Amino acid sequence: LVGCGVTSSGWDDLRSILINNRSLTKLYLSENILKGSGIKLLCEGLKDPDCTLQDLIVRDCNMTLWDCDNLSSVISKNQTLTDLWIMLDDDEKMLESEVKQRCEVLRNAGFSVDRRWSELGWHVCI
């Protein structure tokens, strides 16, 4: 779904797909606006016990630090997700202390954080 302009009703559809489509294991959401209701609906789908997603990339999605914190909280409870790439729009402007803080939030939630920067963003191994 990279750059396809997911609408608010599309995020609701995606939530349903995450819950009902047991064959969906990879989801790349880069270049879609994923804040507010979008992040809320994505989180609802990810926290459902029927979600089987294993690989998630969220890059250039207008996510705030708050959105990232909410997403990491939900993902820490997801039993199937094993690979996550996160890139906040302001990653390049973040202070080292902010980067460390976000990594610590993820570590406390049970993630192993690979802080090597790549074109995809921060690689987070669960």
Residue range 68-111, pLDDT digits in tens? 777 777 777 777 877 777 765 555 555 556 666 666 766 676 66
**pLDDT at position 10 over 70:** yes
pLDDT at position 19: 92
Give DSSP secondary structure letters for 55-89: EEEEESS---HHHHHHHHHHHTT-SS--EEEEE-T
In terms of pLDDT, which residue wins out, 46 or 60? 46
CA-to-CA dists, residue 74 to 10, 36, 97, angstroms: 20, 15, 23
Cβ-proximal residues to 7 (8 Å cutoff; 6+ apart), any chain: none
Domains defined for the chain, CATH in brackets: 8-125 (3.80.10.10)
Residue range 65-80, pLDDT digits in tens? 677 777 777 777 777 8
CA-to-CA dists, residue 72 to 5, 9, 68, angstroms: 23, 23, 6
Q: Give this prediction's pTM.
A: 0.70
pLDDT at position 126: 46
